[in-house]
Homo-oligomer: A and B are copies of this chain.
């Protein structure tokens, strides 16, 4: 009997995260003066223990015992063989997914929310402020803060706040306070509302609000927390790929193709970086981050220096960017509506180690419906982007008659996103035109910024 799922015992949760900074060169983040940002400059925003992790180039970083204790609520997550999808596609490919939907908030996000809450707690912080797009990150941080007795405040992109009222309730159930962004609580929010009173919000705006709210809190016991993009976030997520490698070994296979959806990059990186490590060291594997055609950061945008947020509060980060004023069309994959990308993921694209792909909204929901009926699990709209790419790869394997091994990251379930499925089923969902003019407009602002070097690590 071939196994459907491969579970690991709790004692097999990795004891260390993999830090890709040990294996690649990176352009530094820059301050307002155009000079590299020093760790001290970030101290009002993040606790120093996380800043140290952000800049560390140590390859393996120990996972604290207290973090492992909380990870055990849902980790190790299962690796699943998608036999029914293979059958539905009549493909010789072997399709595996790492299923991150078993965490209490339903996604991969607590992999970093838990250590972030832990390090803040250890540093003496009492309250965390963050933003959230689709709500996966906000609810993950709410969950993590409840575990460590921290207060939690979440600015949620308004379009998602309205589309997904249950996400707010989830956060409240775990004791967090959630408000729609742009809000009137911050200068960044008020400035946006003055110009666009009906603004649907964006991740960039919400980040500005959360950063402002965190650093302007006079207590000294409040910090900001980010659910993607930064190096330490990618680091924490590698627990996914490290587990998946052990599980693939048990299955007796190694992936020919690794796939993950990419918004800020953390879900993709979590699965992919441990395989990127192998690729750097000579192993052959195709690795695809997948994004919406409506927000095509890796597939259409230049590699530049840009702010991580709309108001320009964050340092300049070396990344692919559509411009920090770009307002992505309201696709339902709220977690992928971000103008930038994790600098580590961007650097890997620059180095030619990754091959990004993009899909339109309708194609992603078609893929999601296919797998929901075949495998039984309803995916988050973000995950549907990875699945659309899996379906293409599996069809190609059939054309080529190759028993390719495909591994993808099932970032979360879609049970809080059923409103988007309702729209799809009733025929009222649509693709968005490629927002060429908006991207061009937003991109103009980038001309005045410094340019990152094109670094090659080997």
Contact B106 A72 (CB under 8 A): no
The distance in angstroms between the C-alpha atoms of A317 and B106, with both chains bound, is 41
Among A4-12, A189-197, A280-288, A329-337, the one that faces the other chain is A4-12
For A174, give its contact among B102, B173, B373 (CB under 8 Å): B373
Contact B169 A419 (CB under 8 A): yes
Contact A104 B418 (CB under 8 A): no
- Restricting to A263-279, which residues have a CB under 8 Å from any CB of B? none
Whether a CB of chain B sits under 8 angstroms from the CB of A175 is yes
For A418, give its contact among B102, B170, B425 (CB under 8 Å): B170
Residues of the B chain whose Cβ atoms lie less than 8 Å from the Cβ of A11: 1
Contact B73 A169 (CB under 8 A): no
Among A215-223, A374-382, A394-402, A435-443, the one that faces the other chain is A374-382
The distance in angstroms between the C-alpha atoms of A10 and B172, with both chains bound, is 36
Residues of the B chain whose Cβ atoms lie less than 8 Å from the Cβ of A425: 169, 172-173
Nearest residue in B to A114 (C-beta to C-beta)? B376
The distance in angstroms between the C-alpha atoms of A174 and B375, with both chains bound, is 10
Whether a CB of chain B sits under 8 angstroms from the CB of A123 is no
How many chain A residues touch B (CB < 8 A): the figure is: 41
Whether a CB of chain B sits under 8 angstroms from the CB of A422 is yes
- Restricting to A335-382, which residues have a CB under 8 Å from any CB of B? 369, 372-373, 375-378
Nearest residue in B to A147 (C-beta to C-beta)? B376
- Restricting to A62-86, which residues have a CB under 8 Å from any CB of B? 69-70, 72-73, 84
The distance in angstroms between the C-alpha atoms of A175 and B376, with both chains bound, is 11
The distance in angstroms between the C-alpha atoms of A172 and B378, with both chains bound, is 11
Contact B1 A73 (CB under 8 A): no
Residues of the B chain whose Cβ atoms lie less than 8 Å from the Cβ of A143: 376
Interface of chain A, helix or strand or loop or mixed? helix
Whether a CB of chain B sits under 8 angstroms from the CB of A446 is no
The distance in angstroms between the C-alpha atoms of A190 and B147, with both chains bound, is 51
Contact B7 A9 (CB under 8 A): yes
Whether a CB of chain B sits under 8 angstroms from the CB of A415 is yes
Residues of the B chain whose Cβ atoms lie less than 8 Å from the Cβ of A84: 147
Whether a CB of chain B sits under 8 angstroms from the CB of A96 is no
**C-beta contact mask, A416-433 vs B, less than 8 Å → 1, else 0?**
101101100100000000
Residues of the B chain whose Cβ atoms lie less than 8 Å from the Cβ of A3: 10, 72
Residues of the B chain whose Cβ atoms lie less than 8 Å from the Cβ of A72: 3-5
Nearest residue in B to A144 (C-beta to C-beta)? B376
**C-beta contact mask, A26-39 vs B, less than 8 Å → 1, else 0?**
00000000000000
For A378, give its contact among B4, B70, B173, B418 (CB under 8 Å): B173
Contact A173 B10 (CB under 8 A): no
Contact A372 B174 (CB under 8 A): yes
Whether a CB of chain B sits under 8 angstroms from the CB of A146 is yes
Contact B104 A166 (CB under 8 A): no
Residues of the B chain whose Cβ atoms lie less than 8 Å from the Cβ of A166: 166, 415, 418-419
**C-beta contact mask, A136-148 vs B, less than 8 Å → 1, else 0?**
0000000100110
For A146, give its contact among B1, B9, B172, B373 (CB under 8 Å): B373
Nearest residue in B to A377 (C-beta to C-beta)? B104
Residues of the B chain whose Cβ atoms lie less than 8 Å from the Cβ of A106: 415
Residues of the B chain whose Cβ atoms lie less than 8 Å from the Cβ of A422: 165, 169, 172
Q: How far is the CB of A156 from chain B (nearest CB, A)?
A: 15
The distance in angstroms between the C-alpha atoms of A173 and B10, with both chains bound, is 34
- Restricting to A185-216, which residues have a CB under 8 Å from any CB of B? none
Residues of the B chain whose Cβ atoms lie less than 8 Å from the Cβ of A5: 10, 72-73
Q: Name the residue among A147, A166, A369, A425 with the largest chain B CB count within 10 angstroms.
A: A166
Contact A104 B378 (CB under 8 A): yes
The distance in angstroms between the C-alpha atoms of A307 and B106, with both chains bound, is 40
Contact A102 B102 (CB under 8 A): yes
Chain A residues within CB distance 8 Å of chain B = 1, 3-5, 7, 9-11, 69-70, 72-73, 84, 102, 104, 106, 143, 146-147, 165-166, 169-170, 172-175, 369, 372-373, 375-378, 415-416, 418-419, 421-422, 425
